[in-house]
Amino acid sequence: MSIDKRAFGTYDVRGIYPKTINQELAYKVGRIFPKLFNAKKIAIGHDIRLSGPTLSDALARGLSESGCDVFDIGQCGTEMIYFTTGFKNFDGGIMITASHNPKDDNGLKCVLKNSRPLTPDTGLFKLRDAVADENFDFSYRKASGNIFRIDIMSDYIKKILSYINVKNLKPFKVVINSGNGAAGPIINELEKFLPFEIIKIFNDPDGNFPNGVPNPLRQDNREVTSKAVVENHADCGVAFDGDFDRCFLFDEKGGFIEGYYLVGLLAQNFLSKNHGEKIIYDPRAIWNTTDIVKNMGGVPLMCRSGHSYIKNMMRDENAIYGGEMSSHHYFRDFYYCDSGMIPWLLILELLSQSDKTLSQMVDDRQKKYPVSGELNSKVASLEAVGEILKKVENIYGKDREVIKIDGISIDFDDWRFNLRPSGTEPYIRLNVETRGDKKLLKEKTDELLKIIRS
């Protein structure tokens, strides 16, 4: 079967099973990965998708037939592969997941030694080309490596809990929606150590997704968690995507909290314990984050959005935490990787130290720095994106500094915006924010959208 190169994206391998993601691809990745990256020991795991175990078996066979020892942690979340690779000092890790995509999708996320991401810059496209090479001789086998099944749960839970002081947590009532994804078993383990009353929704892993795709960004998925928070008089709600590398929070009123404001709250938590540390943020919306970081004595540093960029900058700058408004949160002591389990615990720790409710904490920041949220506009082609960026820059960039870290960002006294292209689709994405002026926010958002969509 020929390999479709289009399955290899900028950050991972993803497609429909078995059309583009299948046993043959997984096996070939396994055969080639050790040779390309000099890997002798590799961690593997899979999320709850029905094709996961089959793909995992093919991957393990390919790795072992290349002479690599395979350490299979079974069903897990993506961050557990990051953790295992770093904690065990393995040469790499491969996670089989399609995160929040439809149930028939699957894919592979790869990391190298020290849990560094595999990207086009570090060899992802070399892997792609080798896997797609029909002349590659897969009949040759080295001495077979061993396949071990290992249990990493207790070490992983210990690491997650190390980020908070459990003794200082208040006995909150928390609704947690695992979306029938991989988060459920982790919540069951964490619950043993936490003082919370946890109300679980769709907690049992089920690759059939009987309650819909685990994607809390979808409005219909949000409503279930929001309603449960209100009906149970809970202090907050938490919802996860399929491989729980992201978590999404709801306040005690059932209101969905934009990921942007969580970056500021998490920065606040870290800086309250670690004065003077560096905090990384993406350029889409920044004023709330920089205000908190500076007032807390930290050093705010802007970085292009995207996990590989943020992880690299965090390493270069020794930053303690990095956050994106897309709800990806990265932690220095978690091998500079993103986690969906650490953020909600840090937020509840912060809430335990406050006399405010979660809605009050967030509302204060929303009033001070309201945002448009990310607004997507479809364009005719990727080439047209460049024309729109140039047009907007010519209109708004006169006598202003134009920051081009990710698309274009232009600041004015009372408002700012970021306009950036999608990395993979013919879309252009707009974010606008103001200094406490919702009327100005709507005015400038409408103004920009009219120019972009004309």
Does residue 254 contact residue 194 with C-beta atoms inside 8 Å?
Answer: no
HSE (side-chain half, CA atoms, 13 Å) at 446: 6
Alpha helices by DSSP H, listed for 382-433, are 382-396
Q: Determine how many CB atoms are found less than 10 A away from the CB of residue 248.
A: 25
Q: Letter for the amino acid at 393?
A: E
Q: Is 305 a catalytic residue?
A: no
Among candidate residues 110, 228, 105, 217, the one with its CA nearest the CA of residue 177: 228
Q: Which residues contact 297 (CB under 8 A, 6 or more apart)?
A: 271, 275, 276
> In this structure, what token pair is assigned to residue 275?
């004065």
Does residue 133 contact residue 46 with C-beta atoms inside 8 Å?
Answer: no
Q: Which of 56, 99, 226, 305 is catalytic?
A: 99
Does residue 447 contact residue 437 with C-beta atoms inside 8 Å?
Answer: no
Among candidate residues 443, 444, 439, the one with its CA nearest the CA of residue 418: 444
d(CA 18, CA 72) in angstroms, rounded, equals 22
Secondary structure, 3-state, 259-296: HHHHHHHHHHHHHHHCCCCEEEECCCCCHHHHHHHHHC
Secondary structure, 3-state, 194-236: CCCEEEEECCCCCCCCCCCCCCCCCHHHHHHHHHHHHHCCCCE
Check the CA dihedral 160-202-359-294 and report its sign.
positive
Q: Which residue do the tokens 């819909």 mark?
A: 212
Q: Which residues contact 219 (CB under 8 A, 6 or more apart)?
A: none
d(CA 352, CA 32) in angstroms, rounded, equals 49
Q: Is the peptide bond before 195 cis (omega within 30 degrees of 0)?
A: no
> In this structure, what token pair is assigned to residue 309?
């960029």
d(CA 437, CA 210) in angstroms, rounded, equals 43
List, by residue number, the catalytic residues.
Answer: 99
